[in-house]
Homo-oligomer: A and B are copies of this chain.
Amino acid sequence: MSTKKNNPSALNEKAGISPPEIISSNAIQQIKESRKKQPSSQELIDGILAGNITALSRAITLIESTNSNHLTKANEVINGCLPHANQSIRIGITGVPGVGKSTFIEAFGKYLTSLGKKVAVLAVDPSSTISHGSILGDKTRMEELVKDKNAFIRPSASGETLGGVARKTRETITLCEAYGFDVILIETVGVGQSETAVHSMVDFFLLLKIAGAGDELQGIKRGIMEMADAIVINKADGDYIKKAQLTKVEFNRALHLFPPKKSGWIPTTATCSALTQEGIDGVWQTILDYLELVHSNHYFVEKRKEQNQFWMIETIDEQLKTHFYNQPNIIQLLESTKKAVQNNEISPFAAAQTLLDSYFKK
């Protein structure tokens, strides 16, 4: 300001004193340069295909970004990776908190890398936005695996909706496969709808259990047991071996309640100990047996095709609903209409029609 004309700013250069780096015009230039250096989508694709783990991580971050500018670039990377994907085995692993998912995955992952396999561990946990990643958020729970150069652990993407988290995870699988991982383990919590989402993106679905106090079959969520290709009773060590064996028998009987699977596979039960490694190799052998079957009867390829189509349809459905429920006129009408429906003032179908008419502006 004019009154300060003769009052030079402290920031002005004084003879003999070089300005602090922060206001150096060089520094600004450097930041600009570094921003320019954000790899292009082609650079990311090339990096992933060349086995550059930094490129993979950056591309996954792009997928997980909520910045809409990143969406186009993410899609370019995914489509560039697609022709090189689809060569891995995708295994879903679920189980309620306490069954030892992390220790199992660590033991199983280590076993696989010892066989020379490259292993990626992902997670689907829609609650992670609130809990800041209740699963895989803390890599220290897989101390050994995280140090393994043939293993890659990525915590669950965060997201408002399961659909969003599932989409990001599925796209991450594509990148991991293009990178060259042989086995993709996808962990999910044993509650809610996330199992269904994971089940529809994997080749093999594994349900982890532990021996319990007699009623360990209690609390099995709708359809989770039916989705399982194998039920593995973990923590079968020390005093628990016998109990685990009994639980295995019980689950085996329970599995017979369900109709035959389209894959032709008869679900198996087994015990294992992530602590003593006992049975870990057996789990892998089961998966290999499964793969032999579904490759020979072509179910493997069919299922992946179906899954692809499923995710397309799911995404369309979700987006249509999101668009509908975000319209200002719908938001305005919805609550009062819901109330009228609950109180039998209007039939659910007439109410739906009113809202739809308003949406389509008939």
Contact = CB atoms under 8 A, between A and B. Distances in A.
Nearest to A86: B344
A309 interface: yes
A195 interface: no
Interface stretch (A38-46, A150-158, A351-359): A351-359
Contacts of A311: 348-349, 352
Chain A at the B interface: mostly helix, strand, loop or mixed? helix
A223 B226 CA distance: 9
A353 B323 CA distance: 13
A220 B259 contact: yes
Contact of A312 (B75, B313, B351): B351
B342 A256 contact: no
Contacts of A352: 311-313, 315-316, 319
Contacts of A215: 256
A215 B257 CA distance: 9
A218 interface: yes
Interface residues of A, number: 58
Contact of A347 (B75, B349, B360): B75
A219 interface: yes
A98 to B, nearest CB: 16
Interface stretch (A49-57, A77-85, A117-125, A140-148): A77-85
Contacts of A70: none
Given A78-B350, A309-B348, 10 more contacts: A75-B350, A82-B347, A170-B349, A215-B256, A222-B223, A308-B342, A309-B341, A310-B348, A312-B338, A317-B321
A90 interface: no
A258 interface: yes
A106 interface: no
Contact of A348 (B220, B221, B223, B308): B308
Interface in A206-246: 215, 217-223, 225-226
Which of A222, A315, A324, A356 has the most chain B CB atoms closer than 10 A to its own CB? A315
Interface string A268-311: 00000000000000000000000000000000000001001111
A167 interface: yes
A85 B344 contact: yes
A320 interface: yes
Given A256-B217, A350-B75, A317 B317 contact: yes
A83 B257 contact: no
A257 B349 contact: no
B223 A223 contact: yes
